[in-house]
Structure 1
Amino acid sequence: MSVQELDRSTRIFNVIVKRLSRLGVSAFGAKELVVTGRKSGKSHSTPVNPLRLEGQLYLVAPRGQTQWVKNVRHDPRITLRTGRSEASYTAHEVHDDSAVPVMRQYMKRWAWEVGKFFPEGVSAKSTDAELAAVVVDHPVFRLERI
């Protein structure tokens, strides 16, 4: 599959997941992330795959340093929504070794969908050092309920 076909299929998948989420259907656990634009001040939304690990909720940015990541770094107050149900959180970025267990579990759960966005060979079976290395380009956030 070419890069253009991959980008198109990803956009189509995101539109479907986002619409399902707005209807109250959580496809595979996906939710709609709502953030405030750092330049516009307007609300922006995108589908995300929250991960619960050891009682904590996390977001991983599989596509890397995206606009939602930049917006969350600017204003860490976010909302996760499914249909009419929504919850507000403060996002705290997790770095280095602390992010490794989250990244490993995320890859176990979501690699079928997002594995293509990570470097070749990176998987849930990667070493701690390999996973720590990708956190730089694929940020991890721990969510604290407001």
Structure 2
Amino acid sequence: MAYLKPPWFVRKIFNRIAMATGVGNSQTLTVIKRVSKEPQKIPVVVPEVGGVKYLVSTRGESEWVRNVRANPNVKLGNTKYVATEVPVEERAPVIAAYRPLAGKVVDGYWKELPDDADHPTFALTPA
């Protein structure tokens, strides 16, 4: 699978600001790293479709995606969830709800990774 590595500024500066302020509708996702077992925190935009919250990877096969696949127990803010990957053929309505919430910044990611299969998507069930 493809992956668009975020630039240094996004990883080291912007993500911290987004998690601290909630800029751009972001919330903090905490997952457990598969090797170190340490928490990994990243800002995410969480669409809700049919009463279900979802995680969408804009950049493809990211580390947080691999970590969620290894351990689906995640936290969004202070709430615990179990993440279940959505089959590619069921992702379109979730991605359609996600893109306007995330804003124009994600349009470039879809130009480089245009297929729904390029964007792992997870449904969140309260734990």
Q: Quick one: structure 1 residues 145 and 115, their matched pair in 2 at CA, closer, same or farther if it must change by over 3 Å?
A: same
The Cα shift of 1:118 comes to: 1.8
The Cα RMSD (Å) is 1.9
Distance 2:120 2:25 in 1: 20
> What percentage of residue pairs aligned between the two structures are identical?
31
Does residue 52 of structure 1 match 2:25? no
Of structures 1 and 2, the one with the larger relative CO (CA 8 A, separation 6+) is 2
- Equivalent pair of 1:95/1:135 in contact (CA under 8 Å): no
Q: How does 1:1-146 map to 2 (within 5 A)?
A: 7-11=7-11, 12-20=13-21, 26-81=22-77, 86-119=78-111, 134-146=115-127
Distance 2:24 2:39 in 1: 24
Secondary structure, counterpart of 2:118 in structure 1: coil
Distance 1:109 1:140 in 2: 15
Q: Tell me whether 6-15 or 67-76 shows the greater mean CA deviation.
A: 6-15
Q: Quick one: structure 1 residues 55 and 40, their matched pair in 2 at CA, closer, same or farther if it must change by over 3 Å?
A: same
State the TM-score, normalized to the length of structure 2: 0.85
The Cα shift of 1:121 comes to: 9.4
- Equivalent pair of 1:18/1:47 in contact (CA under 8 Å): yes
Please say which structure displays the higher CA radius of gyration: 1
Secondary structure, counterpart of 1:136 in structure 2: helix
Structure 1: runs of 5 or more not aligned? 1-5, 21-25, 123-133
Count of residue correspondences? 121
1:52-72 Cα offsets, whole Å, 9 max, x none, are 112110010001111100000
Distance 2:113 2:103 in 1: 11
Distance 2:9 2:40 in 1: 21
State the TM-score, normalized to the length of structure 1: 0.74
The Cα shift of 1:27 comes to: 2.3
